[in-house]
Each structure stands twice: as C-alpha cells, then as structure tokens.
Amino acid sequence: MSDVSELCQVLLAVVSKKFLRAEKMKIGDLARKTGCKVVTIRYYEKEGLLPEPERTEGNYRLYGKNDLERLQFIMHCRKHGLKPDEIKKLLAFKDAPQGDCTWVSELINTHIKEIDAQIASLEHLKQHLNQLRQRCAGGQSGEHCGIMHSLNNLSQCCLSCARCSPKPGRRMKQPQQAE
C-alpha cells in the first residue's frame, strides 16, 4: 500500500509540474504572443520593468500570464511615447494603486505639450521646405538650381530664420556618412 501511495504522489507531482509548466512560456513564445523582440524583453527585465523570470532546469526563462499582461502594458505605454522611467512609476502605481492619480494625468498632459511642440516645429519645417521647393521646378543644371543655390546661401535658407537657427552652444546634427 505504501508503494502505491508513493507512486501516486510521484505521479501527481510530475503531472502537476507539467500542468504548471504548460501555463508557462519561454521567452520566444512571449515574444511571438506580444510582437515584442526577445532583446527588448531582456532589456525590460534589466531595467526592472519586468520581474526576473522563473528558470527551467536548463536555465531557460519561463513567463506566465501576469508577465504577458505586464509586457502588454509596457508595450502599450511605449506606443504612447512614455519613457522607461515613467513606465516604471506607472507599474509601481498599478501594482499598489493607493493615492491620488493626478500625477498620471499630469504625466500625459506633459507628453501632449511635447507633441504639440513637435507638431509646430514640423509644420514650421514644412513651410520652409515648401518655400525651398518653389525655388526650382527641375530641369536646370546644378549650378542654376534654385534649391541648391538657396541651400548654399544661408540668408536664403531656413537656418536664417530666428526660430530655426541653432542656439548658441548647441551643435547641429551631422549627416551620417554613407559606407
């Protein structure tokens, strides 16, 4: 009777372990389910956005439903332009939602203002590009191209605009060299 009881306990332990593991997924499975790259998942772990996962005997990472939901939350935040440190604060609030959420609204308002500034800057750049495009309709040699002439003459270029001029001490981005 003792042997049967022990055998049942061993069988139950094996079945339970396999059942629990069936609910778990490896990093590649998590990546496929969320559309997030494996390297990004590892980065989120390193940054503390995702908890350290369980490991198999072979040292493979194992993730569960909570990890999947947390990663989806992180990805949703990233799609809305939130930075990792901001997401970390949101996750802490999500995990322990005590206190007033006014700061969450203020965080989003800050991002809205940043986006408004970016849109205004892009609209301004678009105006300059439209003006530049009007300087040449094509069909000219390089030395007679109005666009090339304007780009060569700072007073006719958008950089002469006070809004577009680089601020003192601020370096302009250098174009990347083609290899």
Which residues are CB-contacts of 160 (< 8 A; sequence separation ≥ 6)? Answer: 154
- pLDDT at residue 15 in the model: 52
Kindly state the average pLDDT of the residues 42-55.
94
Assess contact for 80 and 111: CB atoms under 8 A: yes
Provide the H-helix boundaries in 47-136. Answer: 65-79, 84-95, 102-133
Q: What is the pLDDT of residues 129-174, one digit of tens each?
A: 888 888 887 777 767 788 887 887 766 555 556 565 555 555 545 5
**90/120 same-domain check:** no
CB neighbour list of residue 141: distance below 8 Å, 6 or more residues apart? none
Q: How many CB atoms lie within 10 A of CB 152?
A: 10
Q: What is the pLDDT of residues 90-122, one digit of tens each?
A: 999 999 888 899 999 999 999 999 999 999 999
- The number of CA neighbours under 13 Å toward the Cβ of 1 is 0
Mean pLDDT of the chain: 82
Tell me the CATH number at 16: 1.10.1660.10
Q: What is the extent of the structural domain holding 63?
A: 8-99
Whether 127 has a pLDDT exceeding 80, the answer reads yes
| pLDDT (mean) for 63-89 | 95
Mean pLDDT of 1-7: 63
Asked if residue 165 is part of any domain, the answer here is: no
User: Could you give the number of structural domains in the chain?
Assistant: 2
Distance between CA atoms of residues 95 and 48, nearest Å: 13
